[in-house]
Amino acid sequence: MYFAISLLLALITLVLVIMGLRMLWRGDWVVGWLKGNAALLIILFALGLALLGRDLMFYRQMEQDSTIATLSMKQLGDQVYRVTLAVEGETPRDFDLRGDQWQMDVRLIRWKGLMEWLGLPPAWQLDRLRGRYLTLEDESSKPQTVYDLASHEWNVDLWLWAHRSGWLPVMDAQYGSAVFLPMSDGALYSIAVGLKGLVARPLNGPALEAVEAWR
């Protein structure tokens, strides 16, 4: 869905750029000063659409409470775990986390106005994976491990800009509720995403035992 939207925005960008260039090179600049400025605005708007389309390619359509990834872990030492994140459709990635718990954050996009009326579904992108310590003393004194999971190119992060400024009237860019559960050797968790954020569930014995002991 979002790949098709990106292609559509790229096509609109191309058309607008061609229109803007034709306006720039057609007519008398003395008479057409306003036309020239209008053409530049069209080109800038088109480039903005192109950046929007490119950024949206990294987001996925949300299917309510669908499992999007699994998280497995192996203990390497005291409060050190190698965590393997396997997102559906992607190559698994390994991260070394320090602490007693893992936490994952997610970015959510909900559409408003015209986009909502057109039926554009909500979208998500994993944001961060980090290790947490159970005690405040450990949290303040021991090494922290935080990994950025969000994907964007050309230093363009439309979601972050929309989240901070709230300027885009058609896009509601918010953090979903984070999820955190204990790390344990051999534990396996599933991760699902919904309209409010992430939900994690233990999938095997070590994970169930760790959750029960934590609670």
Number of neighbouring beta carbons within 10 Å of residue 24: 17
Beta bridge partners of 93: 85
pLDDT at residue 30, rounded to an integer: 47
| CB of 55 closer than 8 Å to CB of 157 | yes
65: left (phi over 0), alpha (psi -120 to 50) or beta: left
**β-pair type (101-111, 123-132):** antiparallel
pLDDT tens for the chain, residues 1 to 215: 666 666 666 777 777 777 766 766 665 554 566 666 777 787 777 777 677 777 777 888 888 778 999 999 999 999 999 999 999 888 999 999 999 999 999 999 888 877 777 778 888 999 999 999 999 999 999 999 999 998 766 566 777 777 777 667 778 888 899 999 999 999 999 999 988 899 999 999 999 999 998 87
Phi, psi of 20 (to 5 degrees): -65, -45
Task: Considering only the C-alpha atoms of the chain, give the largest distance between any 2 of them, rounded to a whole number of Å.
Answer: 78
Distance CA 81, CA 83 (A): 6
What pLDDT, on the 0 to 100 scale, is given for residue 154?
Answer: 59
| pTM as predicted | 0.74
> Residue 27 has what pLDDT?
56
The Cα–Cα gap between 200 and 145 comes to: 20
